[in-house]
Amino acid sequence: MTDEGSAAETTASDATEPVTAGPGSPEPPLPYADRPVATAPGHWVLARAGKRVLRPGGAALSAAMLEHAHLAGADVVELAPGLGRTAAEVIAADPASYIAIDRDPDAARRVAAVVGDRGRVRRGEAANTGLPDASADVVIGEAMLTMQGDKAKATIAAEAARVLRPGGRYAIHELGVVPDDINEARYTELRKDLARAIHVNARPMTAAAWRQLLQEAGLVVDWVDTAPMALMKLGRNLRDEGLGGFARIARNVIADRELRQRMLTMRRTFKRYEQDMVGIALVAHKPA
């Protein structure tokens, strides 16, 4: 999960500040590395532990989403790309171009190191990218709309629609809640407990609400799929991170008591609501 934060106003020049990471550049620190583990956003705590796949539905759901987005030969924009895991997969799919927009300077530098000379990375806001109208075939955003309030979600979706060419695809992978008619009191409890656990005011939505968000931005939803929200489960981590990655996470958590306590707190919350939460991915297109 990435923390794009509020949809703050920026100028077009701010939104297009280029970021580079030359050969041999030292690896930038993780975002929020200067914040205590106890108060840092949950997704960056997972990254400190060594986790590299931070998507609610895991790597397999991301891969399915990217397949439906049709990346080969496309001009691709990714919003808030986090650690650059999806960026690497996009580049491997041989797009015509790749541009990443991220407000966090450390995250932006990390992604710049991943894509090298095969893409461009710019610091800026997802709600105001500074990119020209109808300049992209695909816009991707993963685990970032969930972190926004309703107004900011709508603003970012509208910005994605503006940047897309007719026929272009907006692909998102977010945190969903089930069922569509979830009890309102249960949903409120889930949202409050999740915010306390991950220290981000996350606002996951039902599949119907995610569809409505994209439709209200003028897009047509073509594909929807879900997967269990299993960010901290053993099987998911072995699949997503590999044996070596899982061992890295285990070593870091065992060695750091504060990190271990925070991870356990998040895990308990995820476990409490595991029947209510899913990873959800959607791909929608902009009509001609």
CATH number at residue 112: 3.40.50.150
d(CA 219, CA 212): 9
Check: CB of residue 101 under 8 Å from CB of residue 77: yes
Q: Residue for token digits 């968000």?
A: 213
Q: Which residues contact 113 (CB under 8 A, 6 or more apart)?
A: 21, 25, 27, 28, 84
Residue 4: which pLDDT band, with cuts at 50, 70 and 90?
A: very low
Q: Is residue 111 part of a domain?
A: yes
**Angle (nearest 5°) at CA 242 between 239 and 245:** 130
Check: CB of residue 126 under 8 Å from CB of residue 113: no
pLDDT in tens, 242-257: 999 999 999 999 999 9
Residue 94 sits in which domain range? Answer: 14-285
pLDDT in tens, 188-240: 999 999 999 999 999 999 999 999 999 999 999 999 999 999 999 999 999 99
Q: Is residue 8 part of a domain?
A: no
pLDDT in tens, 157-202: 999 999 999 999 999 999 999 999 999 999 999 999 999 999 999 9
Q: Quick one: average pLDDT of 51-59? A: 95
d(CA 70, CA 130): 24
d(CA 285, CA 288): 9
CA 106 → CA 9, 20, 50, 158, distances in Å?
Answer: 21, 11, 16, 26
Q: Which of 5, 23, 42, 9 is nearest to 262 (CA)?
A: 42
Q: Which of 123, 120, 88, 87 is nearest to 105 (CA)?
A: 123
At 5 the pLDDT is 38
Residue 19: which pLDDT band, with cuts at 50, 70 and 90?
A: confident
d(CA 272, CA 194): 10
Q: Which of 55, 164, 96 is nearest to 46 (CA)?
A: 55
Q: Quick one: average pLDDT of 104-115? A: 93
Q: Is residue 2 part of a domain?
A: no
Residue 11, pLDDT > 70, answer no
Length of the chain: 288
Q: Is residue 47 part of a domain?
A: yes
CA 131 → CA 42, 139, 184, 266, distances in Å?
Answer: 30, 12, 38, 37
Residue 25: which pLDDT band, with cuts at 50, 70 and 90?
A: low
Helices and strands of the chain, counted as H and E runs:
9, 9
Using CB atoms within 10 A of its CB, is residue 60 exposed (0-12), middle (13-18) or buried (19+)?
Answer: middle
The helix, strand and coil proportions of the chain, stated in percent and rounded to the nearest 5, come to: 45, 20, 35
Q: Is residue 85 part of a domain?
A: yes
Structural domain total, the chain: 1
Q: Is residue 26 part of a domain?
A: yes
Check: CB of residue 237 under 8 Å from CB of residue 249: yes
At 13 the pLDDT is 36
Residue 22: which pLDDT band, with cuts at 50, 70 and 90?
A: low
